[in-house]
Amino acid sequence: MRAVVVEKGRPAALQQVDRAFLGQGDVVVDVAWSSLNYKDGMALSGDPGIVRTSPLVPGIDLVGTVAESSSPDWSPGDQVLLNGAGIGEGRHGGYAEQAVVDGASLVAVPEGISPRQAAAVGTAGFTAMLSVLRLERDVRPADGDVVVTGAAGGVGSVAIALLSGLGYSVTASSGRADEQRDYLTRLGASNVIDRGELDQPGRPVQSARWAGGVDSVGSHTLATVLAQTAWGGTVTACGLAQGSDLPTTVLPFILRGVSLVGVNSVDAPVELRREAWRRLAADLDLGLLDELTTEIALADVVHHGPQIVAGSVRGRIVVDVRR
């Protein structure tokens, strides 16, 4: 079967592999769709921080049909999806025509969402939903603006669509603000700002601008969002596009009662996964999702990897693994 394979320190390539290469698990999935995320782009380059086993089939998302199962939870013919849970990092992922996985991590494709749309949501949209679930515990639409950083990326795009659909006023921060303004407004952003307003060093406490935020950038951007968050606000952190450092102090937390909440989609328990997908099916505008989705073939994945790492990709990219 065809598979994209990478080794640590070396770029990925499309190869032929046999079933034995895929390893062990209690469910075999015929993979129809995957997606391209920032983490996948790093893995495709052979980044040893992502590629934890070598050789590896990348792809942190997969959607397909159960072909074989020794799990009591799944039967042949079931349509399933898997986000994170170690695939595409520590075990083989979605960039192959079949995957051997742990059935305990699978989720049924929700009613009303097509397999292609489930792949378009993918880990990015799943992470965005986890962020929204956490944010809405403490921040209500009437509390004020919510800022979304890395707004044109996968997490940011879906987060804007979800939050605006739930009635929040969303400010989108993007490195290509003028170029992306129409796109981000179409997603539901009320305001679009250039990331230069947030990504430089500044005071640890600044004038309050945000009731909360969804950050996928880290470093000075996250520090500035925290510094500008109003009393009692909540900011979720799920990425490190600018860096893994956090150059701030305790002041936003002890002077304004700001909460910083980490969002980890990889190790989310299955009940939380099901809840997030239930809410995605209910709250995400699927027509809008289709608009922000670009489709590529499995053979194109290697070429697109550097583009998503460079930040030149917007929205979601789905991978048709069958071609």
pLDDT, tens digit, 9 for 90 and up, residues 227-252 = 999 999 999 999 999 999 999 999 99
pLDDT of the residue at 176: 82
What contacts 171, CB < 8 A, 6 or more positions away? 145, 146, 147, 148, 189, 190, 191, 192, 193, 210
Strands of 21-165, DSSP E? 27-36, 61-69, 79-83, 98-101, 107-108, 146-148
The pTM of the full predicted model, rounded to 2 decimals, is 0.92
First-residue to last-residue Cα distance in the chain: 12
Dump pLDDT digits (tens) for 247-301: 999 999 999 999 999 999 999 999 999 999 999 999 999 999 999 999 999 999 9
pLDDT of the residue at 157: 95
What contacts 170, CB < 8 A, 6 or more positions away? 145, 146, 147, 148, 160, 163, 164, 188, 189, 190, 191
Q: What share of the chain has pLDDT > 90, as a percent?
A: 95
Distance CA 240, CA 261 (A): 14
What separation in angstroms does the CA of 261 have from each of 134, 215, 222, 228?
A: 8, 10, 12, 16
Cα 182 versus chain centre, distance: 22
Dump pLDDT digits (tens) for 29-56: 999 999 999 999 999 999 999 999 999 9
Rounded to an integer, the average pLDDT of 11-21 is 96
Dump pLDDT digits (tens) for 125-164: 999 999 999 999 999 999 999 999 999 999 999 999 999 9
pLDDT of the residue at 235: 98
Owner of token pair 């603006």? 145
Helices (H), the chain: 38-44, 115-138, 154-165, 177-187, 219-227, 251-256, 270-283, 286-291, 301-309
Average pLDDT taken over every residue of the chain: 96
pLDDT of the residue at 68: 98
* Residue in 255, 219, 211, 257 with CA at minimum distance from that of residue 237: 219
pLDDT of the residue at 179: 85
pLDDT at 178 over 90: no
What contacts 147, CB < 8 A, 6 or more positions away? 170, 171, 172, 173, 198, 209, 210, 212, 213, 214, 225, 228
- DSSP letters of 201-229? ---SS----EEEEEESSBHHHHHHHHHTE
Bridge partners of residue 13, in order along the sequence: 5
Q: Residue 28 corresponds to which amino acid?
A: V
